[in-house]
Amino acid sequence: MKKLLNNIRQPQSLSISKKVLYSFLIFVIGVFLGLFSKILDTTASNTLPYFLQVLDLRNFLSRLGVWLFFGVAISVYSKTPIRACLNVFLFFAGMVGSYYFYTVAIAGFFPKSYMMIWISLTAISPIFAFICWYAKGKGIIAIFISSIIFMFITSQTFVYGFWYFDITYIPELFIWIATIFVLYQSPKQIIKVVVLGMVLFFAAARFFYWGF
């Protein structure tokens, strides 16, 4: 199994000091984004600086797509699959921990059900990070993993039916484009990823929403 995985993507070495530094920075970024997101949640939109109102970051950071993108980006740019597991876990632990610490300690609100959902997602995030790391590898397995990632990001960006095809939320279009750049390795590779990902998106939407 190890040989098979290494044939898809070869882990790279990193000094201990850089491992500690990078993981710490990822955790700090997660803490900052969690606090920032919650502060935006608890602040009236008309009291925010004008550029934040225009960017609509409060609604943007409340959606799943942006967090999926952060997890994927951290995964694929880690040096090894184990590092991907650790880094993604630290990011979400920092984000979820700071978000709900502020929610309970400062805002005085205890959303137990939502909190447990995010804690559960954080707990299983290393599994998905391990798989996502191989999206930057070579061969059909890497193409398939990248296509699955692209399908999920596409599902957060677009919605379609018999007579329409719309963008669900404009800022997520930029996440969708950024995902292409994150997954890109070569023109031929990314064309395969985008085409297969879109096919999977349409197939999944048809199965779940149309019932056949």
Higher pLDDT, 202 or 182: 182
Name 34's Cβ contacts closer than 8 Å, sequence gap at least 6.
Answer: 94, 95, 96, 97, 98, 99, 102
Enter the tokens of residue 103.
Answer: 């929610």
Domain that holds residue 97: 1-134
The total domain count for the chain is 2
Are residues 53 and 156 located together in one domain of the fold? Answer: no
Are residues 127 and 52 located together in one domain of the fold? Answer: yes
Are residues 1 and 96 located together in one domain of the fold? Answer: yes
Are residues 65 and 105 located together in one domain of the fold? Answer: yes
Q: What is the pLDDT of residue 15?
A: 92
pLDDT tens-digit map of 159-178: 877 677 788 878 889 999 99
Residues recorded for the chain = 212
Strand, coil or helix: 150: helix
Question: Is the model's pTM score more than 0.85?
Answer: yes
Q: Is the pLDDT of residue 77 over 60?
A: yes
Show which of 110, 134, 158 is a domain's final residue: 134
Are residues 52 and 156 located together in one domain of the fold? Answer: no
Q: Are 70 and 155 in contact (CB under 8 A)?
A: no
Q: Count how many Cα atoms sit within 13 Å of the Cα of residue 138 in the half-sphere of its side chain.
A: 6
Are residues 47 and 91 located together in one domain of the fold? Answer: yes
If one counts every other C-beta atom within 10 angstroms of the C-beta of residue 99, the result is: 23
Are residues 164 and 188 located together in one domain of the fold? Answer: yes
- The pLDDT of 122-135, averaged and rounded, is 96
d(CA 81, CA 85): 6
Are residues 130 and 147 located together in one domain of the fold? Answer: no
pLDDT tens-digit map of 48-66: 666 566 666 767 788 888 9
Q: What is the pLDDT of residue 212?
A: 44
pLDDT band at 209; cut points 50, 70, 90:
low
Helix (H) or strand (E) holding 160: strand 158-160
d(CA 63, CA 65): 6
Helix (H) or strand (E) holding 167: strand 165-167
Are residues 102 and 73 located together in one domain of the fold? Answer: yes
Strand, coil or helix: 164: coil
Residue by residue, what is the 3-state secondary structure of 59-104?
Answer: HHCCCHHHHHHHHHHHHHHCCCHHHHHHHHHHHHHHHHHHHHHHHH
Q: Is the pLDDT of residue 43 over 90?
A: no
